[in-house]
């Protein structure tokens, strides 16, 4: 029998996968402004594989489930996105290793671990015009909401709002990592595709969590 934590983890991962697939074209369009335009395609193909293998993933606990997801993502998403997103899921899994139940503070810990993994793997940080520019503020907002005792839905909403503001703000940044960094000042003026993806994913999670 599935635990509540596994059910919640499944909900989050499936929502991420569906959002990535449904937004393939707009994510590609954003990435094509200064990148190679394949971000949306790569992300969609990887998460399509996740959904194809959905029923065979080990659900012993949330950590093992997320580790299985990480391996699929790493092997199926091309370019730089595969290693980054795969590392994020893998590091998140280690943050709750051996835990039967996962609460709000654990979710924050998982996101912090994912952030550090992305920083290490991508040699990047906030301000480099990457998904970190939305993920870090979103996690900060989530942590505050959790500490205040907010509901899951309220905490997600705060995280989504922070991610959207931060993602939009990447328009003023010059890319310092990835293919976009080769364009120099031309990268200023459009938002980062990865940061926007984080905002869109959290916005969908917020809507779907209210409808559960």
* Sequence-ordered list of residues with C-beta below 8 angstroms from that of 159, at least 6 positions apart, any chain: 138, 139, 141, 142, 145, 202
- Nearest-10 crossing angle of helices 4-22, 24-32: 60
Tens-place pLDDT, residues 100-159:
889 999 999 999 999 999 999 999 999 999 999 999 999 999 999 999 999 989 999 999
Reduce the DSSP state of residue 165 to 3 states and report it. helix
> What's the mean pLDDT in 55-78?
93
Domains identified in the chain and CATH numbers: 4-211 (1.25.40.340)
Tens-place pLDDT, residues 48-65:
999 999 999 999 999 999
* pTM exceeding 0.85: yes
């Amino acid at each position: 029998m599935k635990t509540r934590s596994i059910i919640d983890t499944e909900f989050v991962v499936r929502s991420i996968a569906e959002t990535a697939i449904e937004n393939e074209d707009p994510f590609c369009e954003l990435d094509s402004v200064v990148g190679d335009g394949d971000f949306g395609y790569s992300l969609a193909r990887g998460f399509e594989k996740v959904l194809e293998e959905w029923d065979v993933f080990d659900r012993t606990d949330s950590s093992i489930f997320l580790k299985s997801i990480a391996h699929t993502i790493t092997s199926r998403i091309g370019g730089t996105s595969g290693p980054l997103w795969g590392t994020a899921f893998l590091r998140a899994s280690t943050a709750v290793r051996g835990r039967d139940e996962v609460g709000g503070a654990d979710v924050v810990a998982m996101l912090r671990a994912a952030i550090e993994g992305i920083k290490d793997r991508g040699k990047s940080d906030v301000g480099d015009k990457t998904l970190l520019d939305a993920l870090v503020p979103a996690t900060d907002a989530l942590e505050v909401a959790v500490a205040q005792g907010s509901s899951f839905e309220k905490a997600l909403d705060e995280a989504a709002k922070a991610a959207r503001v931060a993602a939009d703000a990447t328009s003023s940044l010059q890319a310092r990592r990835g293919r976009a960094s080769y364009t120099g000042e031309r990268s200023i003026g459009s938002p980062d595709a990865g940061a926007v993806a984080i905002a869109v994913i959290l916005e969908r999670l917020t809507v779907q969590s209210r409808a559960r």
